[in-house]
């Protein structure tokens, strides 16, 4: 199997985490999720940990430069020939631009998978997730969707123009979505 670098993008609650896990289980590729990294930092009893926790609880995206620091540190640690799945490292325009620049600089082909889900479905999913998992950021659905429209939608257009975007209907059950992803990536 050839080396692959996959990025997931979409609204909060669109299923990026589930789909990264399913793809990783199928391929064995490691997952690097900014949300997981930020939630771990938020548990630290440091000034940075406290600031990250405060912004996570308010449903605010972390600063792009912090997300990019985590992304580049992770990207540069991947061994030559290693594949990877990234979740959430491309939510603001400077992040998307840096992803494109870094991947070009490394001469590393990549694909961005956009899971398309309606606002109504997102609100239902996040309400369920908050109830089940107790994620504090899920209490700020409208704010998170507003940030998505302001920051992330321009990234999707940038990736589309760069010719690396694949759109997937994310409004179905997990397995049909996963099958479409594998098909789009020529893994089946």
Q: Which of left, alpha, beta for 186 (phi over 0: left; psi -120 to 50: alpha)?
A: left
The verdict on whether residue 160 carries a ligand-binding annotation is no
172 is in an annotated binding site: yes
The pair of structure tokens assigned to 164 is 């690396």
Find out whether 170 and 14 touch, Cβ atoms under 8 Å: yes
State CA 37 to chain mean position distance.
12
Residue 96 near residue 182, CB atoms below 8 Å: no
34 annotated as a binding-site residue: yes
135 is in an annotated binding site: yes
Q: How far apart are CA 133 and CA 148, in angstroms?
A: 22
125 annotated binding-site participant: no
User: How far is the CA of 125 from the CAs of 71, 80, 141, 179, in angstroms?
Assistant: 27, 38, 10, 21
Torsion (CA) 85, 154, 39, 41 in degrees, nearest 10: 100
Identify the residue whose tokens are 């979740």. Answer: 87
Q: Is 39 assigned a ligand-binding role in the annotation? A: yes
Q: How far apart are CA 152 and CA 131, in angstroms?
A: 26
Which residues does the annotation place in the binding site for AMP?
Answer: 34, 39, 135, 144
Which residues does the annotation place in the binding site for ATP?
Answer: 129, 172
Which residues does the annotation place in the binding site?
Answer: 34, 39, 129, 135, 144, 172
């Amino acid at each position: 199997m050839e080396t692959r670098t996959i990025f997931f993008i979409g609204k909060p609650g669109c299923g990026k985490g589930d789909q990264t896990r399913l793809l990783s289980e199928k391929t064995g590729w490691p997952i690097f999720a900014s949300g997981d990294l930020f939630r771990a930092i938020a548990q630290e009893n440091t000034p940075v940990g406290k600031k990250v926790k405060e912004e996570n609880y308010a449903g605010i995206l972390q600063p792009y430069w912090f997300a990019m620091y985590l992304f580049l540190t992770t990207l540069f640690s991947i061994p030559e020939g290693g594949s990877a799945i990234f979740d959430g490292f491309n939510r603001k325009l400077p992040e998307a631009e840096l992803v494109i620049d870094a991947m070009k600089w490394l001469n590393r082909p990549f694909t961005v998978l956009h899971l398309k889900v309606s606002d109504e479905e997102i609100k239902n999913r996040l309400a369920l997730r908050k109830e089940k998992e107790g994620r504090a950021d899920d209490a700020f659905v409208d704010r998170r969707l507003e940030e998505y429209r302001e920051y992330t939608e321009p990234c999707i257009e940038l990736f589309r123009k760069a010719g690396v975007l694949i759109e997937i209907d994310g409004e179905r059950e997990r397995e049909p979505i996963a099958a479409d992803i594998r098909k789009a990536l020529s893994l089946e």
